[in-house]
Structure 1
Amino acid sequence: MQSIVTHGNAVGRYTWPIIPNRTHRVPENTPPSESPDRQDERYDRQMFRILRNIDLNLLTIFEAVYVHKGIVNAAKILNITPSAISQSINKLRALFPDPLFIRKGQGVTPTAYATHLHQYISRGMEAFLSALDITGSPHQQRVITIATTPAMGALLMPGLASALKPTFPQILLHNIAIVDAARQLDQRQVDLLIDTHLHSGQAISHHVLYQDRVQMYCRAGHPALDGPQDETTLAEYEFALLLPEGQRYPTLHRRLQEEMGERRCGFSTFNLMTQAAMIAGSDMLGLTTERLFAMVSRLWPLQTLDFPSLGEEQIDVALHFNKLSGKEPLLKEIIETVIRSFKA
């Protein structure tokens, strides 16, 4: 036999059955499960509360005593008094549930717990010093972040890797998307940025790597390929436009509209691959550069159109970097190598 429990007023009343010997939870009293972001936030707060109570200088003293096996030796290395070393060790003993070091003759010997701590503390210090790269070691591993559009990344990153890796085997290339070029360069979120649009600013330097000829293209077997490829013929077909606004393609499209008459932009996208796929499956036309067309035409059956109005229209492909970052020795060498690779 089932009982019915009713909640709410006459307007917002709802019911559900109560089955004997089963536990029922009232929906509005059920706390939502904690999201991973909230859990990460709680962990971060807890971590900083713990670190706030630890003087990180104590860890340096701990390492010195551990490595040099004595308070006196550690004091000489750190240029402080043995008394200061002893006081610091006592502070560490208050933090950790262990004496850490046991006197043995003229020196000390670490406990098992101290050995355990040393493994983690030494690795952390090595990682921190590696990140600082104070010595400017040519063999120090370094991540070089290069921002590009997806298409330019696919086109250029293999060549950049081939040019840089023989001279700089220690670098790890990291390719990310261009989101806000000026901000990414101003705030040094990227080391290098390569784009077909020239970005300017007080903190930004750029160097044109090469110029690429603009081409109009269509699918293989397109009707326009059988006749004269002039304004009258091509004006019949819609465009698949490559954005963003501010790049050269929208500007060229507007110029073609003035010469060929108003035409509909039937499709627009921020991704060259999407544009090429759309054109391969329709009678739309598109604009891209010679090198990029050579890349996408290996993926889809596409052909170029010999459109006289484009003439020798070219787009600059430029390397951008933060002026101050560009003075850093390693990055300066990398920039020079990249520029030389496009002159070869």
Structure 2
Amino acid sequence: MKDIDLSRADLNLLVLFEAVLQEGHVGRAAERLSLSPSAVSHGLGRLRRMLQDPVFLRTPRGVVPTARALELALPIAEVLSGVRRVMAAAERFDPARSRRRFTIGAPDGVSAVLLVPILAALGREGPGIDLDLRQLLPKPGTVDPRRAWQAVLDDLEVRAIDLAIVPLDEIPQRFAAQTLYEEDFVVAARAGHPFSADPSLELYCEMRHLVVSLTGDAHGIFDEALAAVGRSRRVAVTVPNFMQALALLAGTDLLAALPRHLVEMHAERFGLICVEAPLPGPATRIQAVATRAAMMDPGVAWLFRVVGQAGPDDVPPRSFGMSGTRPDEPCTGPLKSE
């Protein structure tokens, strides 16, 4: 193998590569690295010469990586991860004094449940630590959960995110994982909705429904279960996120099958009730996931522990909105975290 003169290589260019790849924008990468946009552009020129490739191509909305850049993304992430481990070992991580910034990825239905207790825990243990939250989305039209969330595992391996929180039961052995809580689905509706007095399958099928779908696909989680018993429902509207769904339910007669913890946490704020579904729905584990390589970083290991201890039960009971005595609130309280 030809010897490479590493004395002429600039590690900062790999850090620049990582920032531009993750941000997809020269200006945002410059802000993240505390550099001027011209300095980043100059660095990209040096990076192109070093790698003998254009690396990033300009578009009206930012930059996109070339095929060669995508091939190099994982090897460069591994190099930087190793350097960070060396640096972390040389300097003890102290959350009480640290000014690090971590990136957590989660679907909006999960972050709406966990972000408040996570921030509270950070305030207690790491008041100078900041978070970037990235919305994670399953691959559209994919039934197999492992394939639906494969892109998230890929993002973890290239360190695009430090930690992911995903509804996935089976995690490959190369990742560290811990269950935060178990999730199932309930039917949510405005307070006083007729369905609360007669939560039957017959009435459920007669009502108009709301489905959360980023792509506008009206096929929801309960449609296959309904088809199995020879029934169907009318999906009158789709919305792209769970918080919008809660707001829309509050002012309409729509029904929606939503995650139990999400509804219990925000029901009082939106004036909603939740009712047990008239037929069995899917259940899953919500898990925190990080690569085992990333866990060698004391900061990531600390974050992993903090997130694991900050379950939905850490939110004050009043915020669940399910502790009243109204007869139209048949749902049980929040499930206990494992």
- Report 1:324-339 matches (<5 A): 324-339=293-308
Deviation by residue 1:31-54 (Cα, 9 ceiling, x = unmatched)? xxxxx98xx9766444667999xx
1:209 Cα shift?
Answer: 0.9
Q: Residue 224 in 1 paired to residue 195 in 2?
A: yes
1:199 Cα shift?
Answer: 6.8
- Report 1:235-246 matches (<5 A): 235-243=205-213
Hey, what does 1:96 align to over in structure 2? none
Distance 2:118 2:221 in 1: 29
Any conservation in 2 of the 1:198–1:206 contact (CA below 8 Å)? no
Any conservation in 2 of the 1:163–1:337 contact (CA below 8 Å)? yes
Any conservation in 2 of the 1:181–1:199 contact (CA below 8 Å)? no
Distance 1:266 1:210 in 2: 31
Q: Aligned with 2:252: secondary structure? A: coil
Distance 1:252 1:244 in 2: 17
Higher-RCO chain (CA-CA 8 Å, sequence separation at least 6): 2
Give the number of the structure whose alpha-carbon radius of gyration is greater.
1
Hey, what does 1:320 align to over in structure 2? 289
Q: Which amino acid aligns with 1:253?
A: D
Any conservation in 2 of the 1:186–1:204 contact (CA below 8 Å)? no
Deviation by residue 1:188-218 (Cα, 9 ceiling, x = unmatched)? 1111111234474564332211113421122
Call closer, same or farther: CA 1:204–1:243 in 2, change over 3 Å.
farther
Q: Which amino acid aligns with 1:298?
A: E
Call closer, same or farther: CA 1:224–1:49 in 2, change over 3 Å.
closer
Q: Which amino acid aligns with 1:305?
A: V
Query: TM-score scaled to structure 2, two decimals?
Result: 0.56
Hey, what does 1:206 align to over in structure 2? 177
Any conservation in 1 of the 2:104–2:134 contact (CA below 8 Å)? yes
Deviation by residue 1:166-206 (Cα, 9 ceiling, x = unmatched)? 33344222222225412321211111111234474564332
Distance 2:235 2:305 in 1: 41
Any conservation in 1 of the 2:118–2:306 contact (CA below 8 Å)? no
Between 1:323-332 and 1:168-177, the stretch displaced more is 168-177
Distance 2:293 2:87 in 1: 17
Distance 2:47 2:296 in 1: 35
Q: Aligned with 1:239: secondary structure? A: strand
CA RMSD after TM alignment: 3.6
- Report 1:120-159 matches (<5 A): 132-133=87-88, 134-138=90-94, 139-159=97-117
Hey, what does 1:161 align to over in structure 2? 119
Unaligned runs of 5+ in 2: 1-25, 28-35, 49-83, 138-150, 312-336
Distance 1:260 1:219 in 2: 28
Any conservation in 2 of the 1:231–1:260 contact (CA below 8 Å)? no
Query: TM-score scaled to structure 1, two decimals?
Result: 0.55
Distance 2:259 2:277 in 1: 14
Distance 2:309 2:274 in 1: 30
Call closer, same or farther: CA 1:304–1:260 in 2, change over 3 Å.
farther
Hey, what does 1:261 align to over in structure 2? 231
Deviation by residue 1:100-129 (Cα, 9 ceiling, x = unmatched)? xxxxxxxxxxxxxxxxxxxxxxxxxxxxx9
Aligned residues: 226
1:319 Cα shift?
Answer: 0.8
Hey, what does 1:122 align to over in structure 2? none
Hey, what does 1:295 align to over in structure 2? 265
Distance 2:256 2:47 in 1: 57
Between 1:208-217 and 1:298-307, the stretch displaced more is 298-307
Task: Give aligned-pair identity as a percent.
Answer: 19
Deviation by residue 1:246-276 (Cα, 9 ceiling, x = unmatched)? xxx9343321342360222222233011222
Q: Which amino acid aligns with 1:163?
A: A
Hey, what does 2:315 align to over in structure 1? none
Call closer, same or farther: CA 1:326–1:250 in 2, change over 3 Å.
farther
